[in-house]
């Protein structure tokens, strides 16, 4: 049981380490995507208004 616990903790550590530096790039990407989504929503609303 101890060996399996060690393996699971090692897996968690391996997963956490690469995720740590990601938020900086991920935040930039998410901000860009959110900005694009807002533009898309505005464009979609304008299109709907024009259609109506």
pLDDT digits (tens, 9 = 90+) for 32-47: 777 887 887 777 776 6
Q: For position 14, what pLDDT does the model report?
A: 55
Q: Buried (b) or exposed (e) across 14-46, using 16+ Cβ within 10 A?
A: eeeeeeeeeeeeeeeeeeeeeeeeeeeeeeeee
Q: Is the pLDDT of residue 31 over 60?
A: yes
| Structural domain spans, the chain | 2-51
Q: How many residues does the chain have?
A: 52
pTM above 0.75, yes or no: no
Tokens linked to 7: 């393996």
């Amino acid at each position: 049981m101890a060996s399996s616990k060690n393996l699971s903790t090692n897996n968690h550590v391996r997963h956490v380490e690469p995720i740590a530096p990601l938020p900086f790039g991920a935040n930039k990407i998410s901000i860009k995507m959110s900005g694009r989504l807002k533009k898309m929503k505005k464009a979609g609303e304008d299109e709907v208004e024009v259609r109506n």
